[in-house]
Amino acid sequence: MKAKSIGLIGFGVVAGFAASLQVTALAQRGGDLQPLPLDEIRQLADVYGLIKTDYVEPVEDKKLLSQAIAGMVASLDPHSAYLDKKSYREMQDSMQGRFVGLGIEVAMEDGYVKIITPMEGSPAFRAGIKAGDVITRIDNVPVKGMSLDEAIKRMRGEPKSKVALTIARKGDDQPWVLPLTREEIRVQSVKAKMVEPGYAWLRISQFQENTLPDMVKQVNALYAQDPKLKGLVLDLRNDPGGLLPGAIGVSAAFLAGDKKIVSTSGQLPDSNQVFYGRREFYAARASGDPLARLPAALKTVPVIVLVNGGSASASEIVAGALQDYKRATILGTQTFGKGSVQTLRPLTSDTAVKLTTARYFTPNGRAIQAKGIVPDVMVDETADGDGLNASRIRESDLVKHLANGSEKETTPAVKTPDAIDAEHATRAAAARNRKPLDFGSKDDFQLQQALNRFKGLPVKLSAAEPRAGKPEPKALVKPDTRPAEINKSERK
């Protein structure tokens, strides 16, 4: 399965989920480069010549060369990509929290476009599209045989323009046509509210340029309502990531001192870095410290972080840092596993290559890539089981995904077609006809379990084990039946 971000019809620049971007100029490293393989270069030139002379109709040089570059970069891993003029501009808009589209992230599976996740509040979300749904036609044109890029371009368009998707859902007898209207979507990065007296909910849906000031504003509003919070739920579910400084800043907001937040390791010297919870790592040089206005109580308030299979990249960095320092309890389901760094290398003033250049590691040196963060307390997304989470695609499911790097990966057993069909049917039966999750509502099962955890009440645990690695020790997943005051003192 080949996956790619659709930052224009989806809600990030990462498949699955957006990763942090470190924008740099294209470096000329001279002596570091190996000699070009002349035989392969000649073969490429021969193919180029054959297309120019023998193809059934003329093909523009620019189109041939652009697609050659795109194919070369896309062959590396699911997150490396060539960005043409339009994609480059739209990616920049996405990082500022705005773009035009349907609000879905997609992957290519068996020649069809499969939904990874719909964006909260988007046209696709409101229309009932779910993770695991398959797009078979776009405006009645079969998707089978299209490249993912071509399918994405057909789904792009101007605001208020319409597109019809034919959706197939496992367990349904027939595909159905869903008309959608494209919108200019502005992602609200941070939401917050008091969910019960003494308990607050803070949600980050994507790490953008404005995430830190927005978080500071929301946190101050919460403490204005209740200066003596007993607990805060940091909700990172379905957060696909975004900008690295935002993840560092959010982590630093809850940690005392200038602690190590994340490190990176790659081939180039500048890919081997350590990032700390200091202002220079999360704020622009010309600006002040956006975290200086946060209440001091945020450093000690008990915290539970909610995650699921849609939590990726920057959100995994935050969860991993708070887990390593035992500053928060991580509750939910195993995260996506997008632990690689994408660096933007401009080619011209309006084109670039987004290239995977390093892996992310938590403060304790755990590699996030292709494994993700395993919660301390495993809780399904719904009260009746893990149907939603089971239908999710994760980094380790993607063809050509980057290996974890610090652990020996095993080749998964090959499943028979009958076994695959049975698995799909089971997932579909659990997820079919279920309303989209309303995060932060009274019907939010995982949020309610987090509140139970704070209060020392029983927590309904998941029967599922992590998809990779060993289960967490039993002591971490037992319901906390001790008074909240004890929990608070342990987290100082």
Specify the residue for token string 């239908």: 391
Is 338 tagged catalytic?
A: yes
Of the residues 77, 133, 214, 324, which is catalytic? Answer: 324
Which residue out of 4, 130, 230, 338 is catalytically annotated? 338
Look up tokens 């399904």; give the residue: 380
Q: Is 415 a catalytic residue?
A: no
Annotated catalytic residue: which of 313, 340, 391, 396? Answer: 313
| 324 flagged as catalytic | yes
Measured distance CA(436)–CA(120) in Å, rounded: 9
Per the DSSP assignment, residues forming a β-bridge with 52 are: none
Burial 450-481 (b: 16+ CB within 10 A, else e): bbbbbbbeebeebebebebeeebeeeebeebe
Contact 135, 115 (CB under 8 A): yes
Q: Would you name the residues annotated as active-site residues?
A: 313, 324, 338
